[in-house]
Amino acid sequence: MSGHGIMAAMSHAVSAGMLAVVLATQTIQTACPKDSPTTPQTGEVFTTRDNVRFRVETVLTGLEIPWSMNFAPDGRLFITERPGRVRIVTLGGSSELALTLDGVYAQGEAGLLGLALDPEFAQNRFVYLYYSATVSGGAVNRIVRYREVNSRLGERVVLLDNIPAAPIHDGGRLRFGPDGLLYASAGDAADGNLAQDVASLAGKILRLNRDGTTPRDNRFSSPVYTYGHRNPQGFDWHPATGDLWESEHGNNGNDEVNAIRLGLNFGWPRIEGAATLSGMEAPITFYNPSIAPSGASFYRGQRLPQFANNFFVATLRGTHLLRLTVDTSARRVTAQERLLEGTYGRLRDVVSGPDGYLYFCTNNRDGRGTPMSGDDRVMRIVPTS
């Protein structure tokens, strides 16, 4: 995508207010954590501990709880909003409402969550969604597939249904792996016992073929890839090694970063944080007090070379972008830093853009934050001299 791309000025009316791409540059503060976010002052620049100087630009404003972001090969940005909308920001600067889902169970943490584009999207235009659906007697989580035509989603196909759902702990991240298969994170739906039950889809990392069938080498002959998870909301593969790293909400702290491998048990609810037990995996690192980690991505761009292969995690309660330098050969974190702490409030997702910048979105309208003017927003980190 060119530098102009989705930065072109525009405005587009939405049910929650005014959605707008803006050209105005926002900046950041090297502030200590605050109880609520503040509006950054114009002209300020943030400097990391290894002297990366950057500013933050506002890409999109007026969103309602954006949950997942994904760039198409042509540079368009696909975004989910938790109440049940998919939006597409085009190269020309316009915003399109691509889909409004019916029957979304948008209660608490549930709703329209993950979004992934097919590895062959340029040819087949397939878009995959993870959402909470209202059903008789309650709710379930589903993975569905659509086809995008002229910035509209249609030809709906349900790939996996009846993933346990609840107002909390729905997981919800979708991503395609280097193996071309579709991975999904499913929370324990507020029932920790389900995480240890390999017959249940709750509290798991799931892996599917693109048509929804189960890959032959899944350990349990089901979509279950790993188990013993509480509420995993972010994961990505290291660009060089292909190792899968994951971020997960703990119980009253003990938020985890894990190295995910096929068939393993990650312990919840029997162990978490520093606890160990034979046959269960300990995290690479964990956090007390809670930072509430959500979307996570390795940086793959060229514009910020010191960030290469760093693991970034958007945090909600922590109100910062967590930067981890990792040693994949030993599966350990060698350094970490909290960027933008207390500056933009609750952060939900982070992804590398095709322009080489690092994009993130806020979630201050999710009922747990303090919205600022323009929230919720998509923003990007750009280098500055």
pTM: 0.90
79 — phi, psi (to 5°)? -135, 135
Give me the pLDDT at residue 94, please.
73
List pLDDT tens digits, range 164-185. Answer: 999 999 999 999 999 999 999 9
pLDDT at 216 over 90: yes
pLDDT at 12 over 70: no
Cis peptide before 366 (omega within 30 of 0): no
Taking the C-alpha atoms of residue 381 and residue 385, their distance in angstroms, rounded to an integer, is 13
Give the tokens for residue 362: 């806020």
Please, which pLDDT band fits residue 92 given cuts at 50, 70 and 90? low
**Domain extent at residue 98:** 5-383
CB neighbour burial string for 370-382, b if at least 16 within 10 angstroms, e if fewer: ebbebbbbbbbbb
- Complete DSSP assignment for 250-309: -SSS-EEEEEE-TT-B--TTT--TT---TTSPPPSEEESS---EEEEEE---SSSGGGTT
Give the tokens for residue 232: 């995993």
pLDDT at 130 over 60: yes
Give me the pLDDT at residue 43, please.
52
Domain count, the chain: 1
CB 324 within 8 A of CB 291: no
- The stretch 331-357 carries a mean pLDDT of 97
Taking the C-alpha atoms of residue 26 and residue 62, their distance in angstroms, rounded to an integer, is 15
Taking the C-alpha atoms of residue 302 and residue 35, their distance in angstroms, rounded to an integer, is 34
Give me the pLDDT at residue 90, please.
81
pLDDT at 26 over 70: no
Give the tokens for residue 257: 């970063």
CATH number for 367: 2.120.10.30
138-149, strands of its sheet edge to edge: 112-117, 126-135, 138-149, 152-164
